[in-house]
Each structure stands twice: as C-alpha cells, then as structure tokens.
Amino acid sequence: MSWVIRVEDLVKEFEDFRLEIPELEIGEGEVLGVLGESGAGKSVFIHVLKGLDDYEPDEGRILYRVGMCPECGWIERPEFIGEQCPKCEKGKLEEEVVDLWGLSDTERRRFRKRIAIMFQRTFALYEEQTVLENVMEALEEAGYSGEEAVQRAVDLIEMVQLEHRITHLARDLSGGEKQRVVLIRQLAKKPIVFLADEPTGTLDPETADIVHKALREGVKEEGITMVITSHWPEVIEDISDKAVWLEDGCVKEVGEPSEVVSKYLELVEEVEREEVEVGDDIIRVKDVKKYYYSIERGVVKAVDGVSLDVKEAEVYGIVGKSGAGKTTLAKILAGVLEPTEGEVYVRVGDDWVDMTDRRERGRAKRYIGMLHQQYTLYPHRTVLENLTKAIGIELPDELARMKAVHVLKVVGFDEKKAVNILDKYPDQLSEGERHRVALAQVLIREPRILILDEPTGTMDPITMRKVAKSILNARKEMNQTFVIVSHDMDFVLMVCDRASLMRDGKFVKTGDPEEIVRELTPEEREEMIRQE
C-alpha cells in the first residue's frame, strides 16, 4: 500500500503542552483511528494535518502524496495519477509529494481546500438555507451541476437519513442533524483526505451510529484516506484499519486497532460503589405532564403523567432513548420549565417548596445545580473566571484559585493540569476538558441537589470513570443528591442507586439499575449500552 500522508519528526509546542509524533504513514484508502484521553493531543494532531493557521509545527514535516495537474494545478487522490485531469480536462495528473508546511500561506490555504474536516461541535452551515441548498452549494463548488448535482444531493441526504428535513432551514435543525449535514457537505467536495475530529462525540448513540455508517459508506468504502479521533474505543476498533494511542502528546502505541484498544482499556479502572445510607425524600413529583403543540406533530406529550421520589444523598437515574422526555423532565425538576399539570416539590431544610409556584421556587433553585446537555461556557473569560466571577462567586484571588483547583480535581483533572488551565480560555481546551469545566461550574456552587443531563457525552472511558468516582465521593462526603439523566447505561450502572426507564414521556419501570437493563427492548439496548 502506498502512502498518502507521512508524518516526519513532528513537534508542536504550546505553553504547557507538547505534541510529538516521530514517524507515521497513512496509506491510500486507509483509516487511521486516533485514541486517547481528553487533552491527549488528538485535536491538535488533526489541526496540524489540515494545515490550519496557528498550528505550524515547531519541528518536522507533514507530507502529502497526491496527483497534480501540471496545467491547472488541480489536486487529486494518488489513485488517479496518470489519468486526465477532471478539472481542466487537458493535462494528466502527475505524482507530487507536497510538504504542507513548506508551502506559502496562499498555497497552503489552496491545498487544504482539498482536505475535508469535521470539527467537534462546530456546524459550518448556511443557517438561512435549507438542507438541500447547503448540500447543493457544496456540490457546485466540487464541479457538479444540473441533474447530476440534484441526484448526488439526494443520495447524500439519504445516506444520513435526513430525507424528512430536506426543506428545513439549517438553523432549525438539532445538533445531531446539523452534524450530518456538515458531514455530507464535506463528502460532496470529493476530498483527497477526510479528517474527522470526534465527529460523534456529543451525539446520542442512535445518531452517532448513523454518522458512523455514513463515514464507512461515504469515506472508507469510497477509498478516501481518513483520520478519525474518537473517545469511543469501539468506534476506533470498528472503523479503523490502523490505530494510534496518544497520551500526553506522545505516541503510546501504534498497531492493529483491536490490539491498541485492548491495551488502552487496561487503564480503565473499576468503579466501586459503596453502600451509603440515604435520607428522607428531598424531591417529590406526582402526575407531572408537559405538553407542547407542534405544527408538524400536533400535541407532543414530552412528559406524560410521571411520578417519582428522590431521597437525600441518593444517586437517581432517568434513562431512555433519545426523545423519551428525559431532558424535559430534568428541566422541570430544576425549576427551569413549568409543567402543564402535576405537582413538583423540593425540600429545603424542613420545608417543602412548590416548584410550580413562581413566587416560591426561587427559594429552592439556589440549592439546585443543573448541567445542561447543551452546556455553554463564557468564551471571553478564563476557566478561573468561568468558575467564579462569571457565575457570581466573589472570593479573594488566592481563595478563588484554591477552590477552583479543588473542584477541577473533583471532575478528573490532576493537580498540575488543574492549575495550568485556570488562566486558559475555553477555546484553548479540548471538548472533553470543556465538558468537565462545565461540570465543575455546577459543582463549585456546592448545591444540595445536582441534576446532570448527559454528563458523560464527550468523555473517554478513563475520564468517565474519574467523574463517576467524583459523583460517588461527593454524595458520601457532602451528602449531595444527584439526578443523572442519561442514555449511557454503563454509567448509570456505575453510579446510580435506583433508576427509572422512560418511554414516550412515561415511566415504565423504576428499580435497581440492573433491573432496568433487563427491561430494555433490543432497540433500547443497542442504543443505550455501548459496551458489554
């Protein structure tokens, strides 16, 4: 197999991080999977391969082997060397080895247009255009026109199962739907290389499976060379031909995906859940309903007659497939949404506060912290400011730093890393690191009740277990109560004392997490349990 990308003695240094990859080759049509904990350097590597500004290596080279037209300069995959140029139809494509970072800025920007990339949580779409118009725009850039362009657009949209959204504006799509449109826009450009940086890191398993299937069909089976990073080891094992394990910016292992994944998972520690005595009820919910009206779907029963009780110091799970109503219920418990009907009470001291009464619920909300699924950090404030001043916590500087470091250690950072990131801005962190800072932002207020909506969405298995231990320790040491909303049954089994299974807005069973697993349908099991 001939190579398409060759990495030679790559070093990229930042103030407190160093990426170092001595030698690596990626073959024609090969899929390289990059595995590692949050902050290991996966995204930095992808950005260097793309040739993005601010990511020029301090040492080493990134070489691309391509077919190039001597007449117009068009660039194609090596397999087309010797064939007529599809752009100008004059010259024949000749073999060229391009030193990406040896090019001028103008040449490099021109070259990288032939390298497709999917970023984490970044949706580069024309918001006021429909799904079809977004895809057609990309196809026209790639040289398609007329009936051929329309047919290609339809094929791509069907590949990611968005036929029912073809005339919807991009701004009105969900995050998972936007991610799928980004994917097919990149595929439409017929790239020489496809770079995918955690393409499904923030998606629910069902949507993630659609994207992974599209990556196999649209990239791998088309013979396009791909580099994909993922915090899900099974994705690396399933899609990749070769895997690299990065740890603290260094190559820990290179080889067969199954072997690399197996060695990586040896670091995954078991989480021991001690028995903790829970107290009396702290949350009581009776016959809660939340109905919406949708032009497309009519009356939507997001929550439909749910009753539950949560004990003080209990870790309570609400599980179910995407769309089951979990997030809506969580927002009702937190006092963010008002129910259409029903009773919601939270105990503050010895008093029960009616959360459906706007005048009363403010008293309870100050003791409730919620991590939203679509969390946000203040982009122009440092991590320290996000954990203190930005959320109204005013402390002397030294005490603020001490408290911030403590809570960052609670969510899985070691002390050195916690200290180092305090003065960084969110865009200087990896997605997994930002997620943990958002969790720390909730914890630092020291709430009595914590409602966490999909708290492990961007976390690798090692970090997930650190967070699981943190939750169990917080409830033991600080008597905190947790409500965990999740479609990840592995995590629920690790941390929850009880769980309720939600389907179509209703609770169908409440009991031990192990009982809930037995209650799952085959479809739910496939979506909700990533690993056995």
Question: The CATH number of the domain where 221 resides is what?
Answer: 3.40.50.300
Please check the confidence at residue 531 and state whether its pLDDT lies above 50: no
CA 159 – CA 157 distance, rounded (Å) = 5
Residues 95 and 147 placed together within one structural domain of the fold: no
CA 373 – CA 376 distance, rounded (Å) = 9
CB 93, CB 67: distance < 8 Å: yes
Q: List C-alpha distances in Å: 337 to 263, 293, 301, 303, 372.
A: 45, 15, 14, 12, 13
* Domain membership flag for residue 378: yes
pLDDT per position as a tens digit, 12-30: 998 878 999 999 999 999 9
CA 464 – CA 58 distance, rounded (Å) = 33
Please check the confidence at residue 31 and state whether its pLDDT lies above 80: yes
Please check the confidence at residue 220 and state whether its pLDDT lies above 80: yes
Mean pLDDT value across residues 400-423: 90
Closest CA to 468 of 502, 495, 434: 495
- The percentage of residues in the chain with a pLDDT greater than 70, rounded to a whole number, is 96
Give residue 243's identity as a one-letter amino acid code. Answer: A
pLDDT per position as a tens digit, 101-139: 999 999 999 999 999 998 866 667 888 889 999 999 989
Helix (H, G, I), strand (E, B) or coil at 300: strand
- pLDDT given for residue 306 in this prediction: 96
* Domain membership flag for residue 465: no
- pLDDT given for residue 456 in this prediction: 81
Residues 224 and 78 placed together within one structural domain of the fold: yes
Please check the confidence at residue 529 and state whether its pLDDT lies above 60: no
Domains in the chain, number: 3
Closest CA to 210 of 152, 159, 155: 159
- pLDDT given for residue 259 in this prediction: 96
Closest CA to 214 of 176, 165, 163, 161: 161
CB 127, CB 204: distance < 8 Å: no
Residues 19 and 97 placed together within one structural domain of the fold: yes
More confident residue, 2 or 521: 2
CA 44 – CA 55 distance, rounded (Å) = 8
SS (H, E, C) 473-529: HHHHHHCCEEEEEECCHHHHHHHCCEEEEEECCEEEEEECHHHHHHHCCHHHHHHHC
Please check the confidence at residue 233 and state whether its pLDDT lies above 70: yes
Residues 389 and 416 placed together within one structural domain of the fold: yes
* Domain membership flag for residue 303: no
Q: In the structure encoding, which two tokens stand for residue 274, read together?
A: 């001690």
Please check the confidence at residue 140 and state whether its pLDDT lies above 60: yes
pLDDT-derived band of residue 532, with 50, 70 and 90 as boundaries? very low
pLDDT-derived band of residue 413, with 50, 70 and 90 as boundaries? confident
Mean pLDDT value across residues 363-373: 90
Paired residues of 31 in beta bridges: 226
Closest CA to 231 of 461, 523, 505: 461
More confident residue, 79 or 522: 79
Please check the confidence at residue 242 and state whether its pLDDT lies above 90: yes
pLDDT-derived band of residue 489, with 50, 70 and 90 as boundaries? confident
CB 317, CB 514: distance < 8 Å: no
- pLDDT given for residue 85 in this prediction: 93
* Of the residues 230, 265, 300, the one at which a domain ends: 265
Mean pLDDT value across residues 93-98: 96
Residues 61 and 156 placed together within one structural domain of the fold: no
Residues 432 and 395 placed together within one structural domain of the fold: yes
Q: Which of 323-327, 392-396, 496-500 is most confident?
A: 496-500
Mean pLDDT value across residues 348-364: 93
Residues 257 and 381 placed together within one structural domain of the fold: no
Q: List C-alpha distances in Å: 509 to 85, 239, 325, 344, 512.
A: 62, 36, 15, 20, 10
Phi-psi region of 190 (alpha: psi -120 to 50; beta: other; left: phi over 0): left
- pLDDT given for residue 243 in this prediction: 97
* Domain membership flag for residue 519: no
Helix (H, G, I), strand (E, B) or coil at 428: helix
CA 412 – CA 435 distance, rounded (Å) = 11
- pLDDT given for residue 214 in this prediction: 86
CA 186 – CA 162 distance, rounded (Å) = 16
Residues 82 and 50 placed together within one structural domain of the fold: yes
More confident residue, 338 or 273: 338
- pLDDT given for residue 397 in this prediction: 86
More confident residue, 176 or 397: 397
* Domain membership flag for residue 495: no
Paired residues of 32 in beta bridges: 227, 242
* Of the residues 393, 426, 446, the one at which a domain ends: 446
pLDDT per position as a tens digit, 35-86: 998 888 999 999 999 999 989 999 999 999 999 999 999 999 999 999 999 8
Q: List C-alpha distances in Å: 449 to 279, 371, 393.
A: 13, 11, 18
More confident residue, 273 or 362: 362
* Domain membership flag for residue 369: no
Residues 107 and 203 placed together within one structural domain of the fold: yes
Residues 199 and 174 placed together within one structural domain of the fold: no
Closest CA to 234 of 499, 439, 20, 490: 490
CA 313 – CA 305 distance, rounded (Å) = 25
CA 289 – CA 303 distance, rounded (Å) = 5
- The percentage of residues in the chain with a pLDDT greater than 90, rounded to a whole number, is 53
Q: In the structure encoding, which two tokens stand for residue 90, read together?
A: 């004059």
Q: Which domain holds residue 169?
A: 121-190
Torsion from C-alpha of 429, 435, 441, 447, nearest 10 degrees? -160
- pLDDT given for residue 295 in this prediction: 66
Residues 183 and 208 placed together within one structural domain of the fold: no
- pLDDT given for residue 526 in this prediction: 66
List, in sequence order, the alpha helices (H) in 203-278.
Answer: 205-215, 233-239, 257-265
- Torsion sign over Cα 15, 386, 441, 396: positive
Please check the confidence at residue 353 and state whether its pLDDT lies above 80: yes
CB 436, CB 460: distance < 8 Å: no
Residue the block writes with tokens 């016959």: 287
Mean pLDDT value across residues 385-393: 87
Mean pLDDT value across residues 282-293: 94
- pLDDT given for residue 49 in this prediction: 97
Please check the confidence at residue 251 and state whether its pLDDT lies above 70: yes
* Domain membership flag for residue 229: yes
- pLDDT given for residue 32 in this prediction: 97
pLDDT per position as a tens digit, 428-481: 887 778 888 988 998 888 899 999 998 887 678 888 888 888 888 888 877 899
In this prediction the pTM is: 0.79
- pLDDT given for residue 21 in this prediction: 96
* Domain membership flag for residue 292: no
- Across the chain, mean pLDDT equals 89
Residues 65 and 204 placed together within one structural domain of the fold: yes
* Of the residues 446, 478, 510, the one at which a domain ends: 446
